[in-house]
Chains A and B, each alone.
Chain A
Amino acid sequence: MSERDQILGRIREALQTKAPLSGSQGGSPDYAVAQPPAAHACDWLPSVGKQLDSQFSLFAYNAADLKAEFQLLNSAAEARQALLQLHNASGWKKVACHSGGLTDAVCSILDVPLLRTDRPYDVQELEKCDAGITECDGLIAQTGSVVVTSRSAGGRVLSVLPPHHIVLARREQLVPDLPAAFDLLREKYAPDYPSMISFITGPSRTGDIERILVLGAHGPKKLTILCY
């Protein structure tokens, strides 16, 4: 008998005796899940306003709290200018990005060598880049998170190896809360999900030394979200 069958056999045997629901003081062992217990998660998670304006200000508040930079802009032209300013302020020598509707429209302003990660690329070259520019699948107002996937953001590495991650997003990509983000992913991809889906909530951080916050532990030290 294979290990798989042995483990599954032990599980079947163990589960022949029913267990009470925890916290129920011996409540019904016949408890059946009528609907997913987490179906009402949006009623319990931190509240999010119904108006789009309040959702944008909540995202901006969360981003600031996380020490991410969030710029709400009005056009691709403004996003290009914002990117150019970041470039001028930081003196980027080399930048990485991937091909896409937003990246192609915005990155053209940069007068530096561009490494594209949506085709085979040299990781050592990517490691030398000062910034990585990606698109995303959504922004979450409730948490200040950016949702990226291996399909939407130029693979697995681009959004985490360069020291500065710049996210380009459209205003209609903002979703109110986490349940909405999972709905969005399901509608967009199921059942053929990208091999990696990541919720990025602020720049990389650690508190492993005396619980003091340090940004840029292994991932980007800076996260900038340009939304238009």
Chain B
Amino acid sequence: MNIFVSEFKRRAAEKTADLRHRQFIRSALRGYEAARDKRKGAFQSWESARQAAAETKWDAINHLGTHLESLVSKLETRGTKVHWASSGAQARDIITQILRDKNARSIIKSKAMTSEEIHLNEALEHAGFKVVESDLGEFIVQLRHEAPYHIVFPSMHLTRGEIRELFQRELGDAPSDNPEDLTMVVRRVMRQKFIQADVGFTGANFAIAETGMISIAENEGNSRLTSALPKTMITLIGIEKVLPRFADLALFLPMLATAGAGQMMTCYNTMYSGPRQPGEPDGPEEWHVVLLDNRRTELLADPEQRDALHCIRCGACLNVCPVFRNVGGSTYGTTYSGPVGSVITPHLRGLQDWKHLSNASSLCGACTEACPVKIDLHHHLLQNRRNASASKPAFFERLAYTIFGMVANDPKFWWLAKKLAWLAQPFQNLAKGTAVDPAKAWTKTRDLPPMPRETFKDWWRNRT
């Protein structure tokens, strides 16, 4: 068993036994569900909107090269510097070099899962730069030296009491555990940081091929400030974020907000098409856009699962997933958790190391139903299982199924197996759930129904 599997199992066992955690996550997600359903209900046809969104993303991803070239040429025309990075290491080097060229000391960041994906903060801090996350949830997990718990709600696992304690310890300022007071502490801390930062760093939600724009959706205004005050702006974006047309946003902005947070629109939906232009009074003098591949082209090369690149990172599949709700976001040990994380992580980080995530699913299909761009998530989990066992079959599983096949195909063996099972069950009961029980994984938390002395066949034959 590799370290990723054993750690996943250890954390999952710990979190599922933590009833307070489960209750806390469940009640948070119940609030999300109510808000989301209200917003979905306001659509004249959510289903038609989903279909159109799926078709639009299909067009975007299946003509990715053309769209990217258009995006880049439009961005460059207006003075934006575009960089291409095949790997996370290359992206980190590009960004570090920009910071060195600018003699930057402090960097203010708005939320970007791509930066989590390439472990940018660690690299920048290692290179001697001061990095501050400005999104409230991201700032909280940064203070705790943790990865975000959820791709949209990074600190949803923490109570106000825990956050108050954290602020007291790290900031020396937490007047109460009232969420408003705690938020205002961060507002005060952050304001001068926005103004004094040398570089602003952002992620992105969409990139528009037609007009050469980057679109960022947020609620707090931190991304607006990050993209307005520092002299240099850097945006890191996965190559799959492209949309063909400007007008596509009329559909994608409300769908992202509805599926992601149960909002009609997030508070700020901002489209950037360049650094400060002639005649504009403020804004960054330089804008660098870093396009990140990091094995997305490998996923693109798999036509069966290519639609996983349609993902707009709304988090809807996490929110409805019974596994996510019970094991929690940190258990996955991945940047992208929940169903979509279980689908794409094996492609991004290696199938054999991460195949266990595809097994951590009941295949209930709630994720597929929730997905606003109709990614066939639960079938992709099955395909990952198939691909993993085809490329590296598990010896004991194959042995077990071969023996089972032999026994089940022969009536005499089958009869014998039933009798043996009836005889052996009392001994299994003694060992139930302990190390010597061969069915431990199942019986640890469940009962095996008692084997009847008389089988249905016996009863049928002997009936009078």
Residues of A within 8 A of B (CB): 2-4, 6-8, 10-15, 17-23, 29, 31, 33, 36-38, 40-41, 43-47, 62, 98, 117-121, 123-124, 127, 143-145, 150-151, 154-157, 160-161, 177-179, 181-183, 185-186, 190-191, 193-212, 214, 216-220
Cβ-based interface call for B56 (8 A): yes
- The answer to whether B28 touches A205, judged by C-beta atoms less than 8 angstroms apart, is no
- Residues from chain A with a CB closer than 8 A to the CB of B430 are none
Question: Are the C-beta atoms of A46 and B43 separated by less than 8 Å?
Answer: yes
Min CB distance B350 to A, Å, is 18
Among B211, B224, B251, contact of A41 (Cβ-Cβ < 8 Å): B251
**Given A7, A11, A45, A143, which contacts B43 in the complex, CB threshold below 8 Å?**
A45
B residues near A44, Cβ cutoff 8 Å: 43-46, 48-49, 52, 251
In the bound assembly, the distance between CA atoms of A206 and B298 in angstroms comes to: 36
Number of A-B contacts (CB under 8 A): 315
Main secondary structure of the interface of A (DSSP, over half): loop
Does B229 sit at the interface, judged by CB under 8 A? yes
CB < 8 Å neighbour of B374 from A6, A19, A23: A23
Cβ-defined contact, A196 with B272, below 8 A: yes
Q: What are the residues of chain A within 8 A of B135 when measuring CB–CB?
A: 208
- Known contacts A8-B69, A208-B153, A211-B156; decide if A36 and B56 are in contact (CB<8 Å): yes
Interface-central residue, A144, A209, A214, A219, by most chain B CB under 10 Å: A209
Q: Is the CB of A22 within 8 A of B376?
A: yes
Q: Residue B270 at the A interface, CB < 8 A?
A: yes
Q: Check B274 for interface membership: any CB of A closer than 8 A.
A: yes
B297:A14 contact, CB within 8 angstroms: yes
Would you give 12 A-B contacts (Cβ < 8 Å), ordered by A? A4-B72, A8-B69, A17-B303, A22-B58, A43-B44, A121-B282, A155-B282, A193-B213, A195-B277, A208-B135, A210-B28, A218-B220
Contact, CB under 8 Å: B62 / A43:
no
The answer on a CB contact under 8 Å between A201 and B269 is yes
Contact assessment for B195 and A22 in the assembled complex, using a CB-CB cutoff below 8 Å? no
Given A208-B153, A217-B220; A43-B264 close (CB under 8 Å): no
Query: B71 contacts the other chain (Cβ, under 8 Å)?
Result: no
Return the contact of B269 from the options A21, A151, A199, A209 (Cβ within 8 A): A199
Kindly list 13 other residue pairs between chains A and B, CB separation below 8 angstroms, not including A7-B239, A182-B246.
A3-B84, A15-B300, A20-B303, A22-B307, A23-B50, A38-B53, A178-B250, A185-B246, A204-B267, A209-B155, A209-B158, A211-B156, A217-B219
Q: Number of B residues whose C-beta is below 8 Å from A?
A: 116
A120 touches which of B62, B85, B281 (Cβ 8 Å):
B281
In the complex, what's the smallest C-beta–C-beta distance from B256 to chain A, in angstroms?
Answer: 12
B174 shortest CB reach to chain A, Å: 12
CA distance A196 to B220 in the complex (A): 17
* Partner-binding segment picked from B3-11, B180-188, B451-459: B180-188
Give the residues in chain B near A98, CB-CB below 8 Å: 281
- A218 and B276 within 8 A (CB): no
CA distance A185 to B59 in the complex (A): 24
CB-CB < 8 A to A29: which residues of B?
A: 303
Is A62's CB under 8 angstroms from B225's CB? no
Bound complex: CA of A4 vs CA of B274, how far in Å? 20
Contacts of A203 in B (CB 8 A): 267
Chain A's nearest CB lies how many Å from the CB of B81? 13
> In the complex, which of the residues B225, B270, B274, B300 contacts A218, with contact meaning CB atoms closer than 8 Å?
B225
- Cα distance A201–B280 when bound, in Å? 23
CA distance A50 to B251 in the complex (A): 20
Check if A205 sits within 8 Å of B220, measured CB to CB.
yes
Residues in chain B near residue A17, CB distance under 8 A: 301, 303
Instruction: Please pick, from B52, B140, B283, the residue contacting A208 in the complex, using a CB distance under 8 A.
Output: B140
**Assuming A15-B64, A43-B48, A209-B179, is B303 touching A199 (CB within 8 A)?**
no
Determine how close the nearest CB of chain A comes to the CB of B94; give it in whole angstroms.
Answer: 9
Distance A218 CA – B59 CA, assembled complex (angstroms): 36
- Check A151–B279 contact: CB distance below 8 A: yes
Task: List CB contacts (< 8 Å) of B21-36 with chain A.
Answer: 28, 31-32
Pick the contact of A12: B65, B136, B250, B264 (CB < 8 A): B65
Q: Is the CB of B155 within 8 A of A208?
A: yes
Specify which chain A residues have a CB less than 8 angstroms from the CB of B276 in the assembled complex: 150, 195
Q: A123 contacts B195, CB within 8 Å? A: yes
Given A37-B56, A47-B44, A155-B280 contact (CB < 8 Å): yes
Chain A residue nearest to B291 in the complex (CB): A7
Given A23-B54, A211-B28, verify A195-B269 contact (CB < 8 Å): no
Question: Assuming the A-B contacts A22-B373, A197-B271, A217-B183, are A209 and B136 also in contact, with contact meaning beta carbons closer than 8 angstroms in the complex?
Answer: yes
- With a cutoff of 8 Å between Cβ atoms, the chain A residues found around residue B156 in the complex are 208, 211
Bound complex: CA A205 to CA B222 (Å) = 10
CB distance A117 to B281 under 8 Å?
A: yes
Q: In whole Å, how far is B151's beta carbon from the nearest beta carbon of chain A?
A: 13
- Find B221's partner among A47, A195, A218 (CB 8 Å cutoff): A218
State whether A160 touches B221 (Cβ < 8 A).
yes
B227 and A7 contacting across the interface, CB-CB below 8 Å? no
